[in-house]
């Protein structure tokens, strides 16, 4: 079916629309397969893990690079000579984007203070200025305003406003006021940007009759570029507005992929935090929409100024305008039997595009059957299908096996997970009974011979499973608890880290008596994990905010563990019978093994998809068990995994 308006077929526009979306899809798939290998090589050279924010920026930068390469190939094959100005303009705009992606380390891409708002505003203002000067070309001293002049003036005003809005955050402030005055949902701010998009559609429809009457190649190209700029802005707005709507669907899809055996695919790791990813795409989409508007305006202004004001340039005049520059650009690609730039350049550009698309198959590939980098094997012994979600702490005792604290998430839908204490023994994971559903937020577990202690930070309680697996209350806030986090047991004494009070408490179980200590140290900010070290005769305590590991003896001051390497966000600590110390660091996505003196002996780095490492424990055979979680809440959708790592098998 062909749609015709004023004798003009819209079929080419439909084809261009489909090519545009196909290019976005291909570039996204390519980046999803190329960037993980690039991240792997980068981290190997740096010797440390990079944060998810940088991974996301690598992905988006690679996606834009692939789109630019594809666009160059397209305009060469189609011999769109005049479009080369737009290509050069897009490449020039890639440089400030790279500066933002690599040097704005203080802000997330989606934060209001991110640097990306400055180049976005600059290009919007540039578009407004170009359109304003174009409007002056249509003013011939006749009755003001002429129709064409009015179109460009209004568009100019709209872009200038959008530029200042990017800097001054007008629509955010307007949305905030409306939400407060009329008790509206937070979605109101997003709907204002949807209104911008709707206004742009109306403007484009209003502009169309101005151009359809005399559709030269130059006019058609200008309209197409404006259309794609508006389309890109619309997609960006959609990402921002619908992120919360699609979030649950993405999380369910991830759980389904994991249960079907695709849990090790690095290709979809990039949407590990879907809300941040979608909002990051929004910022990049808005930026390049502004670039397209500015490029179209500047190009049309240059062409109009180059020609007589009494007529518009035809295709040959436009080629003339760029002829000198193009001849300089295509000199290295000249072939004997080619008379056009497309013929001379399409072969090397095509080879480059082909090499780019095939590059993921030749880059170093990680073992898809292990969550660890460097060849160390690990197997998943339990996951969401076993009831795990946001699992946290681990402990071990021969009488019980590996004991696991599962926090779960109250709002999670469609999956049978829930808070509780699990035991993994003889290759079987079993949930300990909680008939009265007393457990709400199981943060930590400890073997309290002959039973199991479990902390509930939300309710400020500590529960106890006896040898018969009967659950009872051991301590609560009436005894001075606030938000009990880490637990550890030694010689009849239960050590309790209270994250709310920033204290360590000694709980005498038979006497039910709590003695509280508040260490004073500038790095003591958020005590997280605790274990007793028999050779040091002291407690080892991790702080997941400052990265410190402390030694502590009752009634004394805390001290930094002397030889411990710098950590970023250490979580759990386990001390083996030989005095080896195992520490999970979810800031670096690593398991670090120290000797008894505190010197790092080995580091196991997890792949990006599983870097939210939490609990660690070692069984009697020397197998290491580690929990990787999901960053909790809406940040990520990855289910928890319980990994078994056989270091002796390496």
Q: What is the pLDDT of residues 497-542, one digit of tens each?
A: 988 889 999 998 777 888 999 998 899 999 999 999 999 999 999 9
Of the residues 330, 361, 392, the one at which a domain ends = 361
Q: Average of pLDDT values for 584-601?
A: 90
User: Model pTM?
Assistant: 0.79
Q: Are 531 and 561 in contact (CB under 8 A)?
A: no
583 and 480 fall within a common domain: yes
CA 642 to CA 615: how far, in whole Å?
9
Q: Are residues 121 and 206 in the same domain?
A: yes
State the Cα–Cα distance between residues 84 and 594, nearest whole angstrom.
58
Q: Is residue 8 part of a domain?
A: no
Least confident of 32-41, 231-240, 375-384, 400-409: 231-240
| Residue-averaged pLDDT of the chain | 79
Q: Indicate the range of 37-41, 341-345, 460-464, 541-545 predicted with least confidence.
A: 341-345
Angle (CA) 451-456-459 rounded to 5° is 135
Q: Give a yes or no: residue 2 inside a domain.
A: no
Q: Does residue 10 sit within a domain? A: no
Do 326 and 460 lie in one domain? The reply is no
424 bridge partner residues: 402, 429
The answer to whether the beta carbons of residues 348 and 21 sit under 8 Å apart is no
pLDDT of residue 173 exceeding 80, the answer is no
Q: How far apart are alpha carbons 135 and 473 in whole angstroms?
A: 77
Per the domain annotation, does 459 fall within a domain? Answer: yes
Integer Cα distance of 447 and 532 in angstroms? 12
For the four alpha carbons of 79, 82, 88 and 89, in that order, the dihedral sign comes to negative
Q: Which of 38-52, 164-178, 480-494 has the lowest mean pLDDT?
A: 164-178
At 551 the pLDDT is 93
- Inside any domain, residue 4: no
Question: Quick one: average pLDDT of 226-231?
Answer: 80
* pLDDT value at residue 184: 57
Task: Give 2's pLDDT tier (boundaries 50, 70, 90).
Answer: very low
* Inter-residue contact 124 to 163 (CB < 8 Å): yes
CA nearest neighbour of 595 among 540, 643, 554: 540
On whether the CB atoms of residues 201 and 230 are closer than 8 A, the answer is yes
Residues 352 and 392 both lie in one domain: no
Confidence check: pLDDT of 591 > 70: yes
| Predicted local distance difference test score (pLDDT) of residue 317 | 40
Domain boundary among 318, 333, 361: 361
CA distances from 131 to 172, 219, 302, 423, 428 (A): 26, 14, 11, 68, 69
- Verify that 477 and 527 share a domain, yes or no: yes
Distances (CA, A) of 284 to 236, 280, 289, 365: 8, 6, 9, 28
Average pLDDT on 300-314 reads 58
In this structure, are 446 and 527 located in the same domain?
A: yes
Same domain, 468 and 611: yes
The pLDDT value recorded for residue 334 is 39
Q: What pLDDT does residue 524 have?
A: 92
Query: How much is the pLDDT for 527?
Result: 92
pLDDT interval class at 329 (50, 70, 90): very low
Q: How confident is the model at residue 389 (pLDDT cuts 50, 70, 90)?
A: confident
Task: Give the span between the Cα atoms of 404 and 389, in whole angstroms.
Answer: 11
Label residue 46 by pLDDT band (50, 70, 90): confident
Q: Is the pLDDT of residue 215 over 70?
A: no
Answer yes or no: is pLDDT of 339 > 60.
no
Mean pLDDT score, 163-184 = 67
Query: Which of 89-93, 211-215, 341-345, 381-385 is predicted most confidently?
Result: 89-93
pLDDT over threshold 80, residue 572:
yes
Say if CB 588 and CB 568 are below 8 A apart. Answer: yes
Total domain count, the chain: 2
Check whether residue 346 and residue 411 sit in a common domain.
Answer: no
Q: What is the mean pLDDT of residues 104-119?
A: 88
Last residue within a domain, chosen from 306, 334, 361: 361
Q: Are residues 127 and 70 in the same domain?
A: yes
354 and 382 both lie in a single domain: no
- State whether 82 and 39 are in the same domain: yes
The residue segments making up the domain with residue 566 are 378-649
Structural contact between residues 483 and 499, judged by C-beta atoms closer than 8 angstroms: yes
Task: Indicate whether 1 pLDDT > 70.
Answer: no
Question: Is a pLDDT exceeding 70 seen at residue 409?
Answer: no
User: Is the bond preceding residue 78 a cis peptide, omega within 30 degrees?
Assistant: no
On whether residue 588 sits in a domain, the answer given is: yes
pLDDT at 649 (0 to 100): 63
What pLDDT does 189 receive? 60
Q: How far apart are CA 145 and CA 127, in angstroms?
A: 20
Task: Look at residue 294 in the predicted model and tell me its pLDDT.
Answer: 93
pLDDT at 44: 83
| pLDDT > 50? residue 258 | yes
Q: Which residue has 């629509």 as its token pair?
A: 171
* pLDDT at site 225: 81
321: which DSSP letter? H
CATH number of the domain at 523, please: 2.120.10.30
Mean pLDDT, rounded, for 271-299: 87
Instruction: Check whether 606 has a pLDDT greater than 60.
Output: yes
280 vs 369 pLDDT, higher one? 280
pLDDT of 496 over the 70 cut: yes
* Lowest-pLDDT choice from 140-144, 573-577, 637-641: 140-144
On whether the CB atoms of residues 582 and 622 are closer than 8 A, the answer is no
Q: Does residue 366 form part of some domain? A: no
Claim to verify: residue 353 and residue 382 sit in the same structural domain: no
Say what percent of the chain tops pLDDT 70. 74
Residue 393 lies in a domain: yes
pLDDT of residue 9 exceeding 80, the answer is no
Residue 489's contacts (CB-CB under 8 Å, 6 or more residues apart) are: 446, 447, 448, 449, 453, 495, 532
């Amino acid at each position: 079916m062909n749609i015709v308006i004023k004798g003009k077929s819209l079929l080419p526009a439909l084809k261009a629309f489909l090519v545009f979306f196909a290019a976005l899809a291909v570039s996204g798939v390519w980046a999803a397969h190329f960037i993980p290998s690039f991240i792997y090589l980068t981290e190997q050279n740096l010797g440390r893990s990079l944060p998810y924010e940088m991974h996301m920026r690598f992905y988006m930068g690679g996606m834009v690079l692939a789109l630019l390469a594809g666009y160059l190939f397209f305009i060469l094959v189609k011999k769109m000579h005049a479009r080369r100005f737009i290509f050069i303009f897009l490449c020039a705009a890639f440089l400030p984007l790279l500066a933002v992606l690599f040097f704005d380390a203080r802000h997330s891409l989606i934060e209001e203070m991110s640097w990306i708002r400055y180049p976005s505003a600059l290009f919007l203002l540039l578009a407004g200025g170009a359109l304003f000067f174009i409007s002056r070309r249509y003013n011939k001293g006749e009755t003001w305003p002429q129709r064409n002049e009015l179109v460009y003036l209004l568009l100019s005003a709209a872009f200038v406003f959008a530029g200042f809005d990017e800097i001054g955050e007008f629509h955010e402030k307007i949305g905030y006021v409306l939400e407060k005055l009329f008790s509206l949902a937070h979605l109101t701010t997003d709907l204002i940007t949807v209104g911008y998009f709707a206004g742009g559609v109306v403007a484009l429809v209003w502009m169309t009759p101005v151009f359809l009457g005399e559709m030269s190649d130059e006019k058609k190209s200008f309209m197409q570029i404006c259309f794609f700029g508006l389309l890109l802005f619309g997609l960006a707005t959609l990402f921002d507005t619908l992120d919360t709507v699609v979030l649950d669907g993405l999380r369910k899809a991830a759980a389904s992929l994991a249960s079907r055996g695709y849990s090790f695919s690095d290709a979809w790791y990039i949407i590990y935090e879907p809300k941040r990813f979608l909002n990051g795409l929004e910022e990049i989409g808005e930026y390049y929409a502004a670039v397209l508007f500015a490029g179209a305006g500047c190009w049309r202004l240059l062409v109009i100024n180059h020609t007589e004001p009494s007529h518009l340039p035809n295709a040959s005049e436009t080629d003339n305008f760029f002829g000198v520059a193009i001849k300089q650009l295509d000199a290295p690609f000249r072939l004997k039997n080619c008379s056009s730039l497309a013929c001379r350049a399409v072969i090397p550009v095509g080879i480059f595009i082909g090499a780019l698309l095939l590059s993921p198959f030749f880059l170093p590939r990680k073992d898809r059957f292990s969550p660890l980098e460097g060849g160390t094997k690990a197997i998943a012994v339990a996951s969401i299908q076993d009831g795990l979600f946001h699992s946290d702490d681990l402990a071990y005792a021969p009488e019980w096996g590996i004991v696991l604290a599962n926090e779960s998430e109250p709002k999670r839908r469609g999956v049978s997970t829930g808070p509780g204490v699990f035991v993994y023994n003889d290759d079987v994971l079993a949930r300990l009974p909680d008939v009265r559903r007393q457990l709400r937020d199981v943060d930590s577990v400890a073997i309290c011979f002959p039973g199991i202690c479990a902390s509930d930070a939300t309710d400020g309680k500590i529960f106890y499973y006896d040898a018969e697996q009967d659950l009872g209350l051991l301590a609560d806030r009436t005894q001075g608890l606030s938000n009990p986090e880490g637990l550890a047991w030694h010689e009849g004494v239960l050590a309790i880290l209270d994250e709310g009070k920033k204290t360590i408490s000694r709980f005498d179980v038979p006497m039910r008596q709590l003695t509280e200590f508040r260490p004073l140290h500038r790095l003591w900010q958020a005590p997280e994990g605790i274990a007793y070290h028999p050779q040091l005769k002291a407690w080892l305590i991790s702080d997941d905010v400052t990265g410190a590991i402390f030694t502590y003896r009752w009634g004394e001051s805390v001290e930094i563990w002397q030889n411990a390497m710098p950590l970023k966000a250490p979580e759990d600590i386990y001390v083996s019978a030989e005095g080896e110390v195992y520490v999970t660091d979810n800031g670096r996505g690593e398991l670090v093994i120290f000797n008894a003196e505190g010197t790092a002996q080995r580091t196991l780095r997890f792949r990006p998809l599983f870097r939210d490492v939490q609990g660690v424990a070692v069984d009697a055979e020397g197998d290491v068990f580690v929990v990787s979680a999901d960053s909790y809440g809406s940040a990520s959708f990855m289910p928890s995994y319980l990994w078994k790592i056989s270091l002796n098998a390496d």
